Amino acid sequence: MKKNKKLKAKTHRGAAKRFKITSTGKVMRWRSGKRHLLGTKKPRRMRRLLNKVQVSPADVKNVRLALPYGLR
């Protein structure tokens, strides 16, 4: 006889590759625009694109739902 166990929440693998949760709980993302046509982009712009930025507050709730085992 099977027991009714609570199902484990699954991490959305696409979200896990795109977002990181810091030790303080902030949700970070990488900037877009670094894949092609790089010759036309200035070095200063490319350095700015390398850095991670914080996810918009409007999107944080959805990202956290996709990453159930990230820091709360």
Q: Please state the pTM of the whole predicted model.
A: 0.83
**Could you tell me which residue, 2 or 16, shows the higher pLDDT?**
16
Q: What's the half-sphere exposure (Cβ side, CA atoms, 13 Å) at 57?
A: 0
**Residues whose CB falls within 8 Å of the CB of residue 34, separated by 6 or more in sequence, listed in order:** 46, 49, 50
**Could you say which architecture CATH assigns to the domain 14-66?**
Irregular (4.10)
**pLDDT digit string, tens, across residues 17-68:** 999 999 999 999 999 999 999 999 999 999 999 999 999 999 999 999 999 9
Q: What's the token pair of residue 36?
A: 């092609």
